[in-house]
Structure 1
């Protein structure tokens, strides 16, 4: 089955994780991010970002600050087809916060792609869980915050973002 969309987690996957970052000047790409996105676009695959942003629900960030950081990522990597983020804290019990499927399903709807034709690339179990709950494929790219059991449970694991993109496109 050909992959028609790749959805990326933002923090820890596309950019280095800066907890509750609302400052676009603090955005730093992970190694290989630009090349990874170039390869995805070269294949004509649609792109999106799905990100938990509980700092909004905690009163540490505003929607405008999150959108400014997202815009900076677009500047550095080229425009994504959709941006979906959950502003809620975990205790809110919403359907959008990963590992729930809401962000993935919304992003796929935005892109006009069934979830079964999408791959979610992220760095923690919540990313994998959201993909699986939505019926999408998942690829985990471990970072220092990824727990060993998350790596063991992941259906597919890649050593870098670029490797994950190549795995998704193969």
Structure 2
């Protein structure tokens, strides 16, 4: 019995439990420590940025929440029919990094820490693959808090961003450009 317990303890302490992370300044969000999860950044080309605005955010457009049998097509921030008040925004940086931030429409006053990658948010890297803009989003991938990588394809058309997530059975996610005061977006994204 004692031998089995020693073996079990050894296995538990040596098996990796996923991506190693650290807590961000808000005290609960996590970011990956290991640079290997950002490895595709080496395929980033500056030309990717020609269709991407880095001085704005792209906010979630809600077209999947239904009232009755009709979809409510509106920015998630303005969808007061949806009891879930949180919505997503993407922020892209000149160095090929990006963030996914979660905002709450019940807190309409925007503050700089809402867009500070050292304070909150999920991190990602852009790269080019087969003439497409790809992104690796390092985020929570399970209800138990496991951190992993979600592969995404980005398509920018005018003021609209379409995101297709690998393995997602839903249609493309839609995000719309939103200008916010530039002083809110002056944070660095170094990973």
What TM-score results when the alignment is normalised by the length of structure 2?
A: 0.26
- Give 1 or 2: higher helix fraction: 1
- Give 1 or 2: higher strand fraction: 2
Work out which structure has the larger RCO, using CA pairs closer than 8 Å and 6 or more positions apart in sequence. 1
Rg larger for: 2
What TM-score results when the alignment is normalised by the length of structure 1?
A: 0.28
